[in-house]
């Protein structure tokens, strides 16, 4: 294993061997993901506080989201996670084509997700549901419903920002994969980026029920 | 360790499970279980998250250290939530209400 | 981009005369070799220079405040100006001096050497963290120049989000940015300590400085992101008025305090834990003894890091949190005193029957132990809800945290700088001057801050530019002390700079100390820390000082 690893390029001088380097990279990625959990955690904390304070208002506000679009986007993001996992699998097997196909798939589903998100944001804007001076909820300004939408935009906005960053990195990785930078024993970038992408998926897995589904049983929306 | 490769059928199996659970959570959300609505939704989400972490992120096959790190983030998130909510959920103990219903 | 980054090895000794050994300082010249360096030691020096700039800025704000408080009337500054002074003093000192001080300077320099490796795990990320720090610092200076900030360093809503007329959004962004520098440093240390230790360097052979750095890094990566999201929400609230912290729209200002203190209380431990690590190194070296209770000190660092996360509510006893939450946070706060006390008692036990010598670092270490104990015990006063009600927002609190932050962390930083100065720069500082300055700083510190305990207990509120006449005498005393304290710091900076050029050349092991940085690395170390090609293998525990063994008069059984 390590003999094989030594023969590949990419060992940075201050590591003893490629295995140590990979382990350090993976651990660093996990440490970074911990910070990401806590970063979103502040928003989830604010959500928990305000939802427990205003359960009815949150349900009312939530029923203005489109469950179907949210559900479709959930499936789309799960698809992108699958293609990402397949890309990592291909990297382990040394299939350059597999890596690139997986990344392109991830990119494709990511773009669909963001496109749907744009439609949803536009709809909220048209219905004066964007927090701020223009906010009107069923004829009233401000109030706890606005808190819901503030959190909705903060949480989905930060999430979408992570996806955009991810897609920029995918472009760069496709270029590198095309150049043949990833070998079966040395593809830490693909592996660690995979962790990042799956993490972003997990955030959405929680956002979907917390934002879209809490009012679903109380009747349909506009 | 990190090079451990997971069989493809596990990826597809997890993918299918995630899709099924998504439909399940939408379906349950359209019914009213009273106080249980949120616990049910969060349990399903937690299960989905666990599937992604364990299989897509390979934590099931990773070192103890990675598993500890994966756990630590959520543990600290729990600290944040629990110790914030233990304030909010006990505000009315002395008949002091901070959130008046609108 | 990556092509412009210098690999540290760039110039081997081939380009230089054989007579002069290459050190990390002389391996390469020119500003590019510094600004694009990935050598952890050079980055430590860059950090040292930058935090000293901010220390002088923050110190100037402090002296201006003490000048205003010389008299009971508000005659030197407007109230608004004074508000900006204490806010900028707090923001600059906490985010740009205290938090990066020991981790980013001494930690950056020493962590790889102490574990016997060539560099941190992610050298480029290390450099990136310094640049992020500079951007954050630049943004803060921009805020200071364009009207300042008057919210206090705590940014409490709704004042900050709705009413303040100063540039809160820009300041929030500055703090947001700076946070990432801290996260990257912490991440680097954690991975380095986990994955890069030399063969034989087991966890329980690590110097306690590393345990402290590890615990600090945990707080940095777990807490800082929450601060980032909190100030982001604050900036959103301030800019778009979305109601998150505005009671008129259903929001709750207390939520800001919860989220803010979830980071900012553990941040207090970011500031003190590395200092405790430094003190452990110094106490062992200048007692010539093994550390008493090594495992207890090591685990107490972790215990502080973990418990420190669940005590934040003690800042909010009078903010309207529930009585139950106050009770829980009060109880947990008292628990944190245990690991802190474990450290203090173990240091004292290490001193006991040791061969104590009083060079400058040891003077600072002893100062630390005393002052930190006072600061810690007065913290327990504040953990008691009933007493906190009386002294909350008074000078008692101000005195308490300055005893911990200045009496603790700054003393430790000074001690550490003196201890490792010759390692960093290859020259000795003038010892007699060092001892004199240490005494001046100690005396000045106590004159400055001890009167503030009394003032606070008498009821003088913090954050006012004027006060009742009966507080005058103690305030004058405090301001006089601040002058002495400032003089002490200036003296130190002057002789440190002097020694860079004219100081006596230092041997490899100035203190005859144990530890890889003394026994295996030259002063100053070469770019890769150790002799070319030497793979460090560790075979003994930390602090293998032999005084106990050789000194049978101690009355104890000699340990084998």
**How distant is the Cα of A122 from the closest Cα of chain B, in angstroms?**
24
Domain positions in chain A: 16-218
Topology, domain A16-218: 1.20.120
Contact check, Cβ <8 Å, B99/C252: yes
Q: Looking at residue C90, what is its pLDDT? A: 96
The secondary structure of C271-295 as a DSSP string is: HHHHHHHHHHHHHHHHHTSPPTTHH
> Would you state the structure tokens that stand for residue B53, as one six-digit string?
């972490």
Check if A119 contacts C (Cβ < 8 Å).
no
Spell out which residues of chain B touch residue C222, defining contact as CB-CB under 8 Å: 72-73, 76
**How distant is the Cα of A13 from the closest Cα of chain C, in angstroms?**
9
Q: How far apart are CA A151 and CA C521, in angstroms?
A: 53
Check if A182 contacts B (Cβ < 8 Å).
no
Average pLDDT over residues A108-134: 94
Q: Are C340 and C269 in contact (CB under 8 A)?
A: no
Question: Which one-letter DSSP state was computed for residue C504?
Answer: P
Cis before C385 (ω within 30)? no
Spell out which residues of chain C touch residue A146, defining contact as CB-CB under 8 Å: 242-243, 249-250
Report helix, strand or coil for A183. Answer: strand
- What are the distances in angstroms from CA C255 to CA B12, C244, C250? 42, 9, 12
Residue of B nearest to C321 (CA): B87
Q: How far apart are CA C19 and CA C28, in angstroms?
A: 17
The secondary structure of C210-259 as a DSSP string is: HHHHHHHHHHHHHHHHHHHHHHHHHHHHHHH--STT-GGGT--HHHHHHH
Check if C124 contacts A (Cβ < 8 Å).
no
Terminus-to-terminus CA distance in chain C, angstroms? Answer: 55
Q: Are C120 and C192 in contact (CB under 8 A)?
A: yes
Contact check, Cβ <8 Å, A41/C226: yes
Domain positions in chain C: 38-546
| C204 HSE (CA, 13 A, CB side) | 5
> Which among C222, C250, C313 has the least Cβ separation from residue B87?
C313
Beta bridge partner(s), residue C461: C394
Residue of B nearest to A93 (CA): B5
Among C404, C467, C415, which Cα is nearest to C441's? C415
Q: Architecture of domain C38-546 in CATH?
A: Up-down Bundle (1.20)
Contact check, Cβ <8 Å, A217/B73: no
Chain B interface, mutation test: which of C194, C312, C322, most B Cβ atoms within 10 Å? C322
Per-residue pLDDT of chain C (560 residues), as tens digits, is: 333 444 444 444 344 444 568 899 998 889 999 999 999 999 999 999 999 999 999 999 999 999 999 999 999 999 999 999 999 999 999 999 999 999 999 999 999 999 999 999 999 999 999 999 999 999 999 999 998 999 999 999 899 988 888 899 999 999 999 999 999 999 999 999 999 999 999 999 999 999 999 999 999 999 999 999 999 999 999 998 888 998 888 899 999 999 999 999 999 999 999 999 999 999 999 999 999 999 999 999 999 999 999 999 999 999 888 889 999 999 999 999 999 999 999 999 999 999 999 999 999 999 999 999 999 999 999 999 989 999 999 999 999 999 999 999 999 999 999 999 999 999 999 999 999 999 999 999 999 999 999 999 999 999 999 999 999 999 999 999 999 999 999 999 999 999 999 999 999 999 999 999 999 999 999 999 998 767 889 988 999 988 766 654 444 444 43
What is the ipTM, given to two decimal places?
A: 0.92
Contact check, Cβ <8 Å, A131/C195: no
Beta bridge partner(s), residue A137: A140
Q: How far apart are CA C410 and CA C364, in angstroms?
A: 9
Chains touching B by CB (3 or more pairs below 8 Å): A, C
Among C417, C206, C218, C216, which Cα is nearest to C291's? C206
Give CA angle at A150 (A144, A151), nearest 5°: 95
Residues in chain A: 222
Listed in sequence order, the residues at least 6 apart from C216 whose beta carbon sits closer than 8 Å to its beta carbon are C103, C107, C186, C189, C269, C270, C273, C274, C305
Residue of B nearest to C262 (CA): B80
> Which among B65, B80, B93 has the least Cβ separation from residue C322?
B93
**How distant is the Cα of A101 from the closest Cα of chain C, in angstroms?**
28
Chain B interface, mutation test: which of A101, A216, A221, most B Cβ atoms within 10 Å? A216
> Which among B12, B49, B85 has the least Cβ separation from residue A48?
B85
Phi first, then psi, for residue C427 (nearest 5°) are: -125, 150
Spell out which residues of chain A touch residue B8, defining contact as CB-CB under 8 Å: 86, 89
Task: Tell the residue number behind the tokens 């959190």, with chain if given.
Answer: A151
Q: How far apart are CA B99 and CA A54, in angstroms?
A: 8
Spell out which residues of chain C touch residue A133, defining contact as CB-CB under 8 Å: 241
Neighbours of C433 (CB within 10 A): 17
Contact check, Cβ <8 Å, A35/C194: no
Phi first, then psi, for residue B3 (nearest 5°) are: -80, -5
Chain B interface, mutation test: which of A213, A214, A215, A220, most B Cβ atoms within 10 Å? A213
Check if B35 contacts C (Cβ < 8 Å).
no
Contact check, Cβ <8 Å, C194/B65: yes
């Amino acid at each position: 294993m390590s003999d094989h690893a030594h023969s590949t390029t990419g060992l940075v001088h201050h590591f003893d061997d490629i295995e140590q380097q990979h382990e350090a990279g993976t651990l660093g990625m996990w440490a970074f993901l911990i910070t990401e959990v806590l970063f979103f955690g502040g928003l989830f904390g604010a959500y928990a506080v305000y939802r427990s304070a205003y359960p009815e208002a949150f349900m009312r506000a939530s029923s203005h989201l489109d469950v179907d679009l949210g559900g479709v986007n959930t499936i789309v993001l799960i698809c992108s996670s699958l293609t990402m996992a397949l890309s990592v699998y291909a990297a382990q097997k040394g299939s350059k084509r597999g890596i690139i196909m997986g990344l392109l798939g991830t990119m494709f589903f990511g773009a669909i997700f963001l496109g749907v998100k744009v439609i949803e944001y536009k709809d909220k804007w048209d219905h004066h549901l964007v927090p701020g001076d223009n906010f009107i909820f069923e004829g009233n300004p401000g109030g706890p419903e606005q808190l819901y939408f503030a959190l909705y935009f903060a949480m989905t906005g930060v999430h979408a920002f992570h996806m955009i960053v991810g897609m920029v990195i995918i472009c760069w990785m496709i270029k590198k994969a095309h150049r043949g930078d990833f070998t079966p024993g040395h593809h830490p970038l693909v592996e660690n980026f995979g962790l990042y992408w799956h993490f972003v998926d997990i955030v959405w897995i929680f956002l979907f029920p917390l934002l879209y589904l809490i009012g679903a049983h109380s009747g349909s929306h506009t | 360790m990190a090079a451990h490769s997971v069989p493809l059928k596990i990826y597809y199996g997890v993918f299918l499970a995630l899709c099924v659970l998504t439909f399940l959570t939408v379906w349950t959300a359209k019914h009213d279980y009273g106080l249980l609505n949120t616990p049910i939704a969060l349990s399903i989400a937690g299960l989905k998250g666990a599937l992604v972490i364990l299989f897509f992120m390979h934590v099931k096959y990773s070192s103890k250290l990675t598993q500890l790190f994966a756990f630590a983030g959520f543990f600290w998130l729990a600290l944040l939530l629990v110790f914030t909510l233990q304030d909010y959920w006990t505000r009315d103990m002395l008949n002091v209400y901070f959130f008046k219903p609108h | 981009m990556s092509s412009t980054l210098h690999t540290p090895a760039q110039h081997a000794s081939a380009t230089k005369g054989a007579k002069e050994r290459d050190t990390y300082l002389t391996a390469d010249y020119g500003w590019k070799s510094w600004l694009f360096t990935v050598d952890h030691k050079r980055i430590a020096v860059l950090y040292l220079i930058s935090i000293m700039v901010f220390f002088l800025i923050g110190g100037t704000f402090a002296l201006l405040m003490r000048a205003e408080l010389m008299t009971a009337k508000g005659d030197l500054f407007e109230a608004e100006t004074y508000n900006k002074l204490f806010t900028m003093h707090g923001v600059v000192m906490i985010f740009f001096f205290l938090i990066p001080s020991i981790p980013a300077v001494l930690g950056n320099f020493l962590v790889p050497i102490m574990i016997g490796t060539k560099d941190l795990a992610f050298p480029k990320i290390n450099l990136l963290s310094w640049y992020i720090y500079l951007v954050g610092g630049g943004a803060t200076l921009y805020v200071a120049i364009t009207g300042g900030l008057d919210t206090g360093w705590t940014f409490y809503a709704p004042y900050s989000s709705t009413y303040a007329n100063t540039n809160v959004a820009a300041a929030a962004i500055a703090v947001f940015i700076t946070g990432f520098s801290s996260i990257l440093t912490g991440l680097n240390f954690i991975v380095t300590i986990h994955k890069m230790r030399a063969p034989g360097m087991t966890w329980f052979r690590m110097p306690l400085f590393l345990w402290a750095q590890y615990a600090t890094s945990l707080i940095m990566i777990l807490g800082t992101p929450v601060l980032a999201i909190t100030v982001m929400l604050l900036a959103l609230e301030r800019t778009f008025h979305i109601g998150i912290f505005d009671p008129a729209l259903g929001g709750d200002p207390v939520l800001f305090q919860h989220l803010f203190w979830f980071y900012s209380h553990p941040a207090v431990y970011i500031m003190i834990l590395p200092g405790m690590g430094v003190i452990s190194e110094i106490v062992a070296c200048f007692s010539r003894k093994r550390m008493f209770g090594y495992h207890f000190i090591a685990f107490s660092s972790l215990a502080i890091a973990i418990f420190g996360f669940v005590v934040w509510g003690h800042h909010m006893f009078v903010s309207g949190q529930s009585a139950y939450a106050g009770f829980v946070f009060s109880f947990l706060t008292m628990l944190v005193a245990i690991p802190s006390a474990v450290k203090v008692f173990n240091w004292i036990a290490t001193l006991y029957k040791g061969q104590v010598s009083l060079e400058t670092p040891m003077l600072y270490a002893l100062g630390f132990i005393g002052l930190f104990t006072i600061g810690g015990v007065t913290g327990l006063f504040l953990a008691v809800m009933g007493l906190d009600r009386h002294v909350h927002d008074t000078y008692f609190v101000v005195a308490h945290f300055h005893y911990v932050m200045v009496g603790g962390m700054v003393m430790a930083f000074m001690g550490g700088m003196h201890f490792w100065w010759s390692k960093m720069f290859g020259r000795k500082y003038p010892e007699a001057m060092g001892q004199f300055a240490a005494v001046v700083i100690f005396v000045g510190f106590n004159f400055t801050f001890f009167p503030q305990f009394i003032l606070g207990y008498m009821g003088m509120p913090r954050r006012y530019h004027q006060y009742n006449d009966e507080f005058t005498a103690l305030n004058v005393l405090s301001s006089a002390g601040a002058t002495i304290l400032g003089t002490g710091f200036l003296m130190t900076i002057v002789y440190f700079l002097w020694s860079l050029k004219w100081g006596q050349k230092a041997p490899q092991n100035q203190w005859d100390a144990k530890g890889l940085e003394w026994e295996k690395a030259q002063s100053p170390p070469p770019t890769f820390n150790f002799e070319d090609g030497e793979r460090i293998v560790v075979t003994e525990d930390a602090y293998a000082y032999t005084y106990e063994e050789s000194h049978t008069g101690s009355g104890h059984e000699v340990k084998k």
